Amino acid sequence: MANRRMFSKEIVGSDKFLDLPVSSRELYFQLGMYADDDGFVTPKKVIRMVGSSDDDIKVLLTKGFIIPFESGVIVIRHWKENNYIQADRRKPTIYQEEYGLACEDNVYKLDTQVRLGKVRLEEKSVPSSKKKPKAYFWGNEMRFAQNKWWVIEKGEWLKFTGKESEIEWK
């Protein structure tokens, strides 16, 4: 687990966040500091350490800043927006069941899919003769999202820092 954490100004500077009580905001920061490299944490210890109440965790849940699981573990919803951890430094969470559930719900993944209303275009809807070639870097699929190229390696979205001439099209 890392010793340093980051918080996005887009999240903690938003009106939605600033409308939270000060004690709930403090709890959010402390949960972020004690979360593992995937944003999962057991909140009871952190609540006791900072002197928060159960109401503070309920506020964070109601406002959509955390996702709870039946096991008592929570995940910080905007974790991947707040923190980017390189694959070689990341220690996978011990809460693999909860991780799978969070990724299934699409509320935890880096949001890079372009959607038109509630309709999502599926790859199979495009006739095979009209499919566009896909971008690859060293055999890993790439996607262009948020005005950047991303390399998808073992399910992780890694920011591409190479040159566009290094991209292979297949």
> Taking the domains of the chain in order of start, what are their residue ranges?
9-104, 130-169
Q: The CATH number of 9-104 is which of 1.10.10, 1.10.1760, 2.120.10, 3.30.420?
A: 1.10.10
Tens-digit pLDDT profile for residues 67-118? 888 888 999 888 877 776 666 666 777 777 777 776 655 555 544 333 334 4
* Beta strand pairing call for 40-41 and 148-153: unpaired
Q: How many CB atoms are closer than 10 A to CB 158? A: 17
Residue-level pLDDT at 135 = 87
Tens-digit pLDDT profile for residues 124-156? 444 555 567 888 888 888 887 767 788 888 777
Segment (H or E) for 99: helix 96-104
Segment (H or E) for 151: strand 148-153
| Cα-Cα-Cα-Cα dihedral sign, residues 30, 35, 41, 46 | negative
Q: How many CB atoms are closer than 10 A to CB 125? A: 7
- Cβ-proximal residues to 8 (8 Å cutoff; 6+ apart), any chain: 78, 81, 82
